[in-house]
Amino acid sequence: MENCIFCKIIAGEIPSPRLYEDENMIVIRDIEPKAKLHYLCIPKTHFPLLSADEEKVEAVKRCFAKIPTLVETLGLGDGYRVVINQGENGGQAVAHLHIHLLGGEKLKDF
């Protein structure tokens, strides 16, 4: 998708080291970490919001099936927080669905 920063990262047009990559997703470090460790799991297909559409559900499902297998490697073994911001009120800045993984320290309650 044109003008989507995450599509550009996925396409390699914007450099961002990939901590994990497969045919469905990439995992990168968030450029402005909100916790000691802050990663983004980004499906390779462009869609902004969670959806009941089967293909999009599948893309999200694949991310959630993979995340637990990456936890130790990412240093999140002591626990972590999963966040998906949705739309304006949810504070979503990038309109390409992504899953935040936050940890590496005791996170504050919200």
Contact residues: Zn ion, CB under 5 A: 1, 4, 6-7, 46, 96
Name residue 28's beta-bridge partners. Answer: 18, 40
Q: Closer to ligand AMP at the Cβ: 24 or 42?
A: 42
Q: Closer to ligand AMP at the Cβ: 52 or 93?
A: 93
DSSP 21-83: E-SSEEEEE-SS-SSSEEEEEEESS--SS--S-HHHHHHHHHHHHHHHHHTTTTT-TT-EEEE
Per-residue binder mask for ligand AMP (CB under 6 A), 14-53, x = binder: x-x-----------x-xxx-------x-------------
- Least gap, CB of 62 to ligand AMP (angstroms): 19
